[in-house]
Amino acid sequence: MKLIKMNMGVLTIIIIFEFLVVANSQDQLKVGFYNQVCPKAESVVTNIVRDAGKFDHRIPPGLLRLHFHDCFVEGCDGSILIDKGNTSEKGAFEHQGLTGFNIIEDAKAKLESICPGVVSCADIVAMAARDAVAFSHGPVYQVETGRKDVLVSNIDLANRMPDVRDSIELLKQKFIEKGLNEKDLVILSAAHTIGSTACFFMEERLYNFASLGGPDPSINPRLLPELTLTCPINGDVGIRLPMDLGSEDTFDIQILQNIRSGFAVLQSDAKLMDDLTTRGIVDSYFDVWAPFFGPSFEADFVISMLRMGRIGVKTGSNGNIRRQCTSFN
């Protein structure tokens, strides 16, 4: 792991300010929620994520994506983890390809053995995503905890997940519906800095963009042959390719540079350049004065992750603590 490459005093002030601004909105969420009731909670999750990530580079991006998908349905409430057949949220088309469930279960089993009935599955997902970012050489930050696990998991509730084929207008609207803004859209899309995608999600963009029977014209001509070679027409749609070419396993700002240069792999990432506001946000990180006076990608990512982590949380009597993350008590 590494610390953020910026003035740490400035970063600390930014993050503390972000906590204070919304403190009244989620009084029951706080950093260190388990300090007294289960002091080892966070270290248990960190150690399990770290040990798993050492042997499988797909673990960190899988855990980061799992947190995003959990939060963007009915809130950060562990609903994505329930496995009760075809009716549970986990089985939705929008969630295909999600991984990391076994890591969450391993952490839950360990925590139940030392602090039974105390740590929620929803919090484990949030903590694991934080550790996945740090393990990938991204910013090290503290996550708010205190969520309860939801009592409902419904496949029909996943139909408003952001999709790689969405227009920029629709993507913005879906984020607004969750209380997030255009900057959050840019920054959370940049989570694609780690991980890969399947050729299944590339077919339309490469061979039938906008139903016109050809590739997306925004793809840089130097990138197109590489994409079509990896994902040939009528080829194996399960083949995977990095979402951040040249930097698949390292959390860094390269993803935004790729997007600016027409080297975005996912169509939804490329769409960030179709809107004046989102394009301006992307460009702001590469202004000539950005290294001195501009925004910090790492600090902004932390803030957007904290904002996302507050979506629709269940606290108090609105949820419970599951004994197993895959089933209701």
| Positions at the binding site | 70, 73, 75, 77, 79, 89, 162, 192-193, 244, 252
Give residue 163's Cα distance to chain centre.
Answer: 13
Helix intervals (H) in 80-152: 101-114, 121-135
CB atoms within 10 A of CB 4: 18
- pTM for this entry: 0.90
Taking alpha carbons only, the member of 304, 319, 325 closest to residue 178 is 304
| Positions at the binding site for Ca(2+) | 70, 73, 75, 77, 79, 89, 193, 244, 252
The pairing of strands 196-198 and 240-242 is antiparallel
- Taking each helix axis from N to C end, the angle separating 297-308 and 59-74, rounded to the nearest 10 degrees, works out to 50
User: What CATH code is assigned to 168-305?
Assistant: 1.10.420.10
| Positions at the binding site for heme b | 192
Given a cut of 50, the residues of the chain with pLDDT beneath it are: 1-10, 12-26
| Positions at the binding site for substrate | 162
* All structural domains of the chain with their residue ranges: 8-160+308-318, 168-305
Collapsing DSSP states into helix, strand and coil, what is residue 224?
helix
- Per CATH, is 8-160+308-318 categorized as 1.10.520.10? yes
CA angle at residue 277 from 273 to 279, to 5 degrees? 25
Q: Which residues are catalytic?
A: 69
